Amino acid sequence: MKFLTFIITLFAVASCCDKKSCTINKDASADDSTVVFHPPRSVQTSVVRINSTLQTWSAAQPWDKSAPKKRRALGALLSDNRVLTTAEMATNVTYIELENADSTRRIPAKVIAIDYEANLALLEPDNGDTQGFFKGLKPLTLGSPAKIGDEVSVWQLEENGMPLVTRATIQGVDIVSSFAQGHYFLTYEVKGSMQSSTSSFTLPVIRNNQLLGLLTSYSAKDQIIDVMAPEIIAAFLADTADKKYEGFPSLGIAISSTVDPNFRTWLKLSDDVGGLYVTRIRKNSAAEKAGIEKGDVIIQIDNKDIGRRGYYSDANYGKLFWSHLIRGTHKVGDSINLTVLRNGDEKKITATLARPGKRLIASHTFDQAPRYLVKGGFIFQELTATYLKAFGKDWESKAPLNLLDVISSPEDYEEGRNKLVFLSATIPTPATTGYERLRNFIVNKVNGQPIADIPSLIKAFQAAGPDGLHTIEFAHGPPKTIFLDATASDLVDTELINRGIPELSRD
């Protein structure tokens, strides 16, 4: 009962404020943390609804798209008719459109820049009456970094276009991965109680009438709202300015903490230093080029002491994880200074930050249609994390072991390969008689040629042996080698097209 009254009150507040004065309405509610305190008009004029239709590709039948999904969110209107939202709203989209607050105007949109790692995307109208759509709308400006304890408001819209504003308090900051797995960025953890409403997949978060960040997730249980920090948004926007989007830099190392006192004694670390133990260096990374070695202990980055757990003291936020010093405060091409201990001796190292190098198995393949080849009924694909994740929630135990091994130890498979090609399934055809059960086999060679990726596989299949047979060699098997009749498989290929496979390959 009480809840119901509260909702009604909130409506009353909103509509009253809509007219003019916008101070806190004292009659509204005893619990003023839910009271509207920002000019609601700016909610309606500075946010736009984003409607996305998303489609991913089928893992089992890579020529097919899966059933479309819809997502609706609120984007922050920026200058020059640009709209900021999260990458999650703009990834794998088949169609994306903008809609104004009261749903009277719509316009198709396009993605002009997207960063899957930082979970940000910038949209622009694509054809249509741009002037008409943006008439009367007022862009937001990006605000400056907040402090722990600051009050912010999260903007939502009711179905009818009425604003819904939640006041919340920044409780902490952390480095969080919100979309592409394994990429961590500065995020505010904000305490506040949100309600469900339309277009709320992601929402603008406002402080002092300026855009502070975007909501990336909300936990109803803990009432914690994760908000992308303005520093990251600023870096993203700056990168988009020259039309050539580069992305956030990386150092290319994996680390382990040095909390364990025995480990510290063994590393000859004195009590007054912290330090991060370098466990892995990615090939062709900034770290490799700068000469950082496995087993080094990083004790300073940009003259900031790194603690035993990897935290440094940030002037604004207090304790922050070291990776923010790389990814959140620099851009590609910047130099950073590191102090490392190698066998107990201090060394100064300067690293030039770069984008992470190409990997055998990319951390994500958003917006990329899977590459494949169908030959005589065999379906060959390039292994991606997306493919393995299609095995479901428990993919790390359910997916085929030999393919999981590639993800966990890619260095064992990198030689001679750009990507890892494997036989993902076998369609029963006259050419694949007896091979129906073969699947998830890693391909080494076809017709004697080493297979580095799908294009090289396609090329290798163009030269069958003199006996009219293709020879396919797998990494493990059994069987390790199988044969496919060239003429029969070509006939099957034609038949498969007749049966509705739109393309036999995608490279």
Partner 1 sequence: MIKPPFYAALALLAPLTAATAQQKNPLAPLPAQTSALTQNNYGSIIRIEAATQVPDYREPWKAGRFSGGIGTGFLIGHNRFLTNAHVVSNARRLLITVHGSPRKHPAKIVHIAHDCDLALLEVENFMPFLGLTPLQIGNVPKLESQVRVIGYPVGGNRISVTRGVVSRIDFNTYSHSRSDQHLVVQIDAAINPGNSGGPVLQNGKVAGVAFQGLRSADNTGYMIPTPVVKRFLKDIEDGHYDQYVDLGINSFPMFNPAMRKKFGLDQNSPGVLVASVTPDGPCDGVLKNNDILTAINGNAVDAAGNILIDGEKVNMNEIVERKFSGDSIQLNIIRAGKPLSVSCTLKPFPPSRMYAAQYGVKPRFTTFAGLVLQPLDRNLYAAHSFTNTRVRRLFTHYVDEAIFKHRKDIVILTRVLADPVNTHVSGHVGTAVKSINGEKVTSLEQAHALLHPKDTPEFFIIQCEGIERPIVIPGDQAAEASQRTQTNYGISTPSHLDQ
Residues that bind partner 1 (CB under 8 A): 59-60, 254, 256, 259-263, 265-266, 277, 279-280, 294, 390-392, 396-398, 401, 404-405, 407-409, 431-435, 467, 469-470, 477-485, 488
| Least distance CB 359 / partner 1 (angstroms) | 17
Residue with Cβ nearer partner 1 (462 or 481): 481
Yes or no: say if 70 and 116 are a contact pair by the CB < 8 Å rule.
no
Question: 82 forms bridges with which residues in the sheet?
Answer: 78
Q: How many CB atoms lie within 10 A of CB 467?
A: 9
| Least distance CB 363 / partner 1 (angstroms) | 17
Yes or no: say if 313 and 292 are a contact pair by the CB < 8 Å rule.
no
Task: Report phi then psi at 190, rounded to 5.
Answer: -115, 130
Yes or no: say if 280 and 299 are a contact pair by the CB < 8 Å rule.
no
| Least distance CB 287 / partner 1 (angstroms) | 14
| Least distance CB 257 / partner 1 (angstroms) | 8
| Least distance CB 30 / partner 1 (angstroms) | 48
Whose structure tokens read 């917006």?
367
Residue with Cβ nearer partner 1 (139 or 291): 291
| Least distance CB 206 / partner 1 (angstroms) | 40
- State the Cα–Cα distance between residues 248 and 492, nearest whole angstrom: 46
Yes or no: say if 170 and 141 are a contact pair by the CB < 8 Å rule.
no
Residue with Cβ nearer partner 1 (231 or 485): 485
Q: How many CB atoms lie within 10 A of CB 141?
A: 11
| Least distance CB 89 / partner 1 (angstroms) | 24
Tokens representing 94?
Answer: 């088949």
Residue with Cβ nearer partner 1 (166 or 489): 489
Yes or no: say if 469 and 486 are a contact pair by the CB < 8 Å rule.
yes
| Least distance CB 435 / partner 1 (angstroms) | 6
User: Hey, what amino acid is at 178?
Assistant: S
Residue with Cβ nearer partner 1 (138 or 280): 280
Residue with Cβ nearer partner 1 (134 or 435): 435
Residue with Cβ nearer partner 1 (155 or 387): 387
User: Hey, what amino acid is at 323?
Assistant: S
- State the Cα–Cα distance between residues 62 and 199, nearest whole angstrom: 31
Helices of type H across 257-355: 261-267, 286-290, 323-327
Residue with Cβ nearer partner 1 (14 or 306): 306
What's the farthest any 2 CA atoms get from each other in the chain? 90
- State the Cα–Cα distance between residues 82 and 241, nearest whole angstrom: 12
